[in-house]
Structure 1
Amino acid sequence: MIRSRIVIIGAGFAGYRTAHTLSRLARGKAGITLLNPTDHFLHLPLLPHVATGVLEPRRVTVSLPGTLPDVRLVLGEADGVDLEQHKVTYTDPEGTRGELSYDRLVLSVGSANKLLPVPGVAEHTHGFRGLPEALYLRDHITRQVELAAAAPDAETCRARCTFVVAGAGHTGVGLAAHGRLFTDALVRKGALWNGIRPRWLLLDTADRVLPGLDERLSATADRVLRGRGVDVRTGTSVKEATPEGVLLDDGEFIGTRTLAWCVGVRPDPLVAGLGRPLERGRLRVDPWLSVPGHPEVFACGDAAAVPDQHHPGRYTPMTARHAWRQGATAAHNVAATLGHGTRRRYRHRDLGSTVDLGGAKAAANPLGIPLSGPLAGAVTRGHHLAAMPGNRVRVAADWLLDALLPRQAVQFGLVRSATAPLDTASPGLARFPAAAPHPTDDRHDPHAQEPSRHRANHREDPHDQQ
């Protein structure tokens, strides 16, 4: 008996859920191959915990071979799909080219950092979409505080202790909230010039933080951020980034050595090369997540423009919650084409949102009930644990230890500036240029990075709401 060949590209929220659900539905009657650059699933909402030393990197990752035993893992980056020949080409981690043939294909390639035509951003900024970026940022923040303590003058000290976050969506708010607690803890261990304290700025062009969420959640997050001393500036954007600081669109220059780029995401450029209709860079699919004209091809997650059944004429936003649910729908519909079950439309129900603000603080509205303070914090962390497909005990243990013990403020310099570039289609992979900079290099060192796998046009996608 010849088994159907199913290839899934990408192991983010959508791809992992598709592989996990499909392996159960297929019951060994189909050969499932998962193509992904890394051997793990990354729980993106917990990246701020990694960047600020709350969680170790392995805590927010889940082994693909360990949790998907009936799925064949192929390590590699997809760089082409031939829809007519039913083939996928890829490059493995050692540069060897490969090819996969399929009877059914699921495109769940996800997204990358959103790019904007702002001078200096590509050279002096880092995104926040993968472990390399989180690890680099943790080292960088620690290093800046340590260098500030030994700065020759107050101006240099102040600049090194100023941290700017562009983008007040889920990612930016989480980073600023956790980051402020982290730098305050670092400074308690060492005196700075004349009582200088770390300064965090959170910028966004919208009129409020978390512009895509309920206004009560936005108000709660804004109150917590300002209460911690975060300088929240709405209606403000970056005009230019330089090695010495950031020029804002109102003409103010902020001296800083840190600009974190959290303005949102763009679909993986791989889908643009398919020659199929796009919606602002996302591959158009029907309500059953199949690609029109190619019933054997499905797409889900950030790279798919999925019709929103509750808002006709609109598409579901690029969020982890939608990607996770779409993965389950894609799995059922692929299985239906193999004779297992019936197709189903993608529908969703808004069960509320949670925003982790660090410490015991959070903003949440489960089932529409607005919560704040420690209760919201407990609900939010419980939601994270429930959503993770593994490592729950280890994550909970690290949270408990962080509440009881001081964080270890050390920086290793293992992830260098040029190995975590902003312009890359695979934020989960560190890039190793031929001429790597010195281990102590910071974000201002020249990016001698190898070219990104794809170069995408600048797009105006909604703010990232993981």
Structure 2
Amino acid sequence: MNPQRIVVVGAGHVGLYAALHLSRKLNRRRAEVVVIDPQPHMTYQPFLPEAAAGNISPRHAVVPLRRELKKCRIVSGEVTKIEHARKTVTIQPIDGPSTEMTYDHIIVAPGSVSRTLPIPGLRDRGIGFKTIGEAIYLRNHILDRLDVAAVTPDPAVRKASLTFVFVGGGFAGIEALAEMEDVVRDALNYYPDLDPSEVRFVLVEATKRILPEVGAQMGAYAARALDARGIDLRLDTRLESCVDGEIVLSDGDRFRAETLVWTAGVKPSPMLDRTDLPRGPRGHVTCLPTLQVLSHGKVLDGAWSAGDCAQVPDLTNPGAYCSPSAQHAVRQARVLADNIRTVILGGLPKEYRHKYVGSVAGLGLYKGVAHVYGIQLKGMPAWFMHRTYHMSRIPSFNRKVRVVVDWTLAFVLRRETIALGQLHTPREEFTHVTPRVDLPEERETVGAGAR
């Protein structure tokens, strides 16, 4: 009997955990698990603020696929098309021509991307916060702005360099804002020419509250805590323009800022547009509680989905769908893997049922809010719970140890406030000192043109 091929599209929370679970539950005579992703690692996104702040090494916020998924086949490339009618995926490798691969089962889990809006200047000025590269860039950019402000003779440039705008009051925006405010406050100890009163952090949120996931009371506490730190909270306010660094808000305020971080929500990966899978009104793949893809009231044989890109009914809250959180994604991945194994062995899949237990959020070093099992915590207890929970969730013992070591060293030693901006343009210096040499064909072409 030939083994069935299970293709996993995307190596985020769903893809990694589902592939890991399948590789442990099914031997290679039963199934071949193929994981396709452009990146050779899974990013543990809850640790992006910690990586940006320098609390942990950026390398420790990602999980190498080939190390963790030793029993799986890893394909480094991008899925450009899914034709479930033919049960084929089209793969564009990192280099070389595209190829087609057939499958028996497919797990569609490309995750989500930043939900942006057609705001003038956002494409040119905005910095996202969903990848480890963006987290590293944000840290280097903010520290670089301090260097600019410390030496420029132009007061307008100095003021714009010390103004940092974050758009979006959810987990990503608040945690990134709080951590980077901590970083800047620590870094100012090494900039005697800069006055802390000159630094301005602005949060722009379109609704009237922040951190809705932790409840109204804890969200209000978080807002008061950020306000006490001098952070300018603009609730019920929208960003209308940021052309050339001029920030225009819906409340009529205008000012210049050299840093604009966009964390205003997510939407399903645009890769889903190139599939023949059924989609919901907001672009998600429609699923049953068993995590099987549903099309016109019928189950699509061999098609499965979960996580941010899927519309999964929440059986604990009739009429609602599971929220796009890591808590649901990890648990859905395990149920999905068990269901595929059950179907391959001739059984019936089970429904995913998990009551959302609550949320925790960090507000910088030693500060946080939590609302878990109806219990509300704030300050250091919530911060400790936040760190403990996410340390327990990141895959592999290897990563857990490295993260704990990073935290221990950060507790004993002072925070590193170093910008490595050359990471973003590593060949610039070399190309600057290397003379340009025209190829013989180019010289002949130039000569012929001159004649």
**TM-score (normalizing by structure 2):** 0.89
The yes-or-no answer on 1:197 pairing with 2:198 is yes
Q: Which amino acid aligns with 1:5?
A: R
In structure 2, relative to structure 1, the CA distance for the partners of 1:24 and 1:16 (3 Å cut) is same
1:120-269 maps to which residues of 2 (within 5 A)? 120-192=121-193, 196-269=197-270
Q: 1:113: Cα distance to partner?
A: 0.9
Q: CA–CA distance in 2 between the matches of 1:77 and 1:192?
A: 48
Partner residue in 2 for 1:381: 387
- Is 2:351 the partner of 1:351? no
For residues 16 and 248 of structure 1, the distance between their equivalents in structure 2, rounded to whole angstroms, comes to 40
**Could you tell me which residue of structure 2 aligns to residue 450 of structure 1?**
none
Q: Which residue of 1 aligns with 2:318?
A: 312
Which structure has more RCO (C-alpha within 8 Å, separation ≥ 6)? 1
Structure 2 residue corresponding to 1:392, chosen from 391, 395, 400: 400
Counterpart residue type for residue 174 of structure 2: V
CA drift of 1:195 comes to 5.8
Give, in angstroms, the shift of residue 340 of structure 1: 6.5
Residue 157 of structure 1 contacts residue 192 of structure 1 at CA under 8 Å; is this kept in 2?
no
**Which amino acid in 2 is paired with 1:240?**
S
The more displaced of 155-164 and 92-101 is 92-101
**Secondary structure of the structure 2 residue equivalent to 1:5:** strand
What secondary structure sits across from 2:127 in the alignment?
Answer: coil
Greater Cα shift, 405-414 or 103-112: 405-414
User: 1:411 and 2:413 equivalent?
Assistant: no
Q: Structure 1 297/51 Cα, relative in aligned 2: closer, same or farther at 3 Å?
A: same
2:289 maps to a residue whose letter is P
The alpha-carbon deviation at position 196 of structure 1 amounts to 4.4
Aligned to 1:49: 50
1:365 match: secondary structure: strand
Confirm whether residue 331 of structure 1 aligns to residue 332 of structure 2.
no
For the Cα contact (< 8 Å) 2:290–2:352, is it kept in 1?
A: yes
Q: 1:101 to 1:179 in 2, by over 3 A?
A: same
Alignment match, 2:371: 365
TM-score by length of 1: 0.87
Deviation at 1:225, TM superposition (A): 1.4
SS in 2 for 1:117: coil
Matches of 1:56 and 1:95, distance apart in 2: 33
Greater C-alpha radius of gyration: 2
Quote the RMSD (CA, aligned, Å): 1.9
Deviation for aligned residue 1:341: 5.5
Contact 1:416 1:437 in 2 (8 A): no
Deviation, 1:224, is 2.3
Give CA deviations for 1:321-373 in whole Å, capped at 9, x if unaligned.
11111111111111111016641111112222110112111111232211111
* More divergent stretch after superposition (140-149 vs 349-358): 349-358
Question: Which stretch of the first structure deviates more once superposed, 166-175 or 43-52?
Answer: 43-52
Tell me, yes or no, if the aligned pair for 2:239 and 2:248 is still in contact at 8 Å: yes
CA distance in 2, matches of 1:115, 1:66: 34
Match of 1:277 in 2: 278
**Within 1, Cα distance between the matches of 2:387 and 2:245?**
37
Aligned pair in 2 of structure 1 residues 141, 192: CA closer, same or farther (>3 Å)?
Answer: same
* Cα distance in 2 for residues equivalent to 1:240 and 1:317: 30
Aligned to 2:255, the other structure's residue is in SS state: strand
Tell me, in whole angstroms, the C-alpha distance in 1 between the residues paired with 2:50 and 2:132. Answer: 11
Q: Which residue of 2 aligns with 1:286?
A: 288
SS of the aligned residue for 1:370 comes to strand
Higher helix proportion: 2
State the percentage of identical aligned residues. Answer: 32
Contact 2:83 2:276 in 1 (8 A): no
Aligned equivalents of 2:402, 2:86: Cα separation in 1? 45
